[in-house]
Amino acid sequence: MKQLTDKEIEKKALEIRRLIIRMVHAATCGHPGGSLGLADIFAVLYFDILRHRPGQPDWPDRDVFVLSNGHVSPVRYAAMKLAGYFRDLDVMSFRKLGSPFQGHPSTRYLPELENSSGSLGQGLSAAVGLALGQRLQKRKGRVFCGISDGECGEGMTWEAATAAVAYRAPVIAYMDHNGIQIDGKTRDVCDLGDLASKFAAFGWKVSTIDGHDVGGLRRAFSSARDYEDGPQMIVCNTVLGKGVSFMEDDYNWHGKAPNQEQTELALAELA
Ligand SMILES: Cc1ncc(C[n+]2csc(CCOP(=O)(O)OP(=O)(O)O)c2C)c(N)n1
């Protein structure tokens, strides 16, 4: 894949955001907030960091990307579509009956995905296991995993955090740290405290970065590749709804579709 400049990747993030808005509007339901907040991270992953072949999704040497917070499926579908996956499929069928693009992603309909998700808290465990498997099989690919701050309320996340250190699993995880979950600020719903310090206390290598700084994201993920001796967590500070002024940092946009007027406004802002 051709090496893109930061500006070109930022342009991809904008395209991803526009597609998210169009998909969720067409479906009249879905999760635009977290998806928009993750667009820069997904643009960096799919257009720079991940070693993958959209035309050969089962390439044995590929990097594996496990997405744990499945409700942000719009950003995953949009990024993968723009990267060249799903050539014969219409992502605008998102959430329609019979569409492979279900609200919560399923490998049953889309074998290009590495995991099904929607039930929160499971992805990190899957990723830790897969990272250990990659090492055992001496595979070239690395295992990446996306989790969210809200799902750190799930106990299984911390079982995975413990096991990852005990077995020195070479997993590269990032956290969508936007301070928001389904119906409010995480600190109001169930205060999770300082998540970066918690992962560090479990023994993870932790860094905290701006989840919208494309250059910083590229540097953080590519230097994470150089370390294979244990689990890493890149805490990405993000803004829910990033790029659409009336959605930003408002938990009401966690899981609600914009109406026609809001869609036009959003697309105008993302021009
Ligand atoms: C096991 C489980 N419990 C509850 C839910 C319901 N749920 C869906 S999204 C969500 C909030 C998750 O927080 P986060 O991912 O941080 O939200 P966002 O930043 O996307 O707004 C919850 C509790 C779920 N999907 N799975």
* pLDDT 10s digits, 20-40: 999 999 999 999 999 999 999
C-alpha of residue 146 to centroid of ligand 1, in Å:
13
85: CATH: 3.40.50.970
Is residue 77 a part of any domain in this protein? yes
Q: What is the DSSP letter of 179?
A: S
The tens digit of pLDDT for each residue in 125-168 reads: 999 999 999 999 999 999 999 999 999 999 999 999 999 999 99
What per-residue confidence (pLDDT) applies to 164? 98
Is residue 1 a part of any domain in this protein? no
Residues of the chain with pLDDT under 70: 1
Contact 217, 40 (CB under 8 A): yes
What per-residue confidence (pLDDT) applies to 1? 67
Is residue 125 a part of any domain in this protein? yes
C-alpha of residue 166 to centroid of ligand 1, in Å:
27
Rounding to the nearest 10 degrees, give the CA dihedral for residues 190, 193, 194, 199: -70
CA distance 55 to 57: 6
pTM of the model: 0.98
What per-residue confidence (pLDDT) applies to 2? 77
β-strands 184-185, 180-181 pairing: antiparallel
Ligand 1 binding residues, C-beta < 6 A: 33-34, 69, 71-72, 118-121, 148-151, 176, 178, 180-182, 240, 254
Residues 6 or more apart in contact with residue 23 via CB below 8 angstroms:
30, 74, 77, 78, 91, 92, 94, 101
- Give the domain range for residue 144: 6-269
Please state the domain count of the chain: 1
Amino acid at 172: I
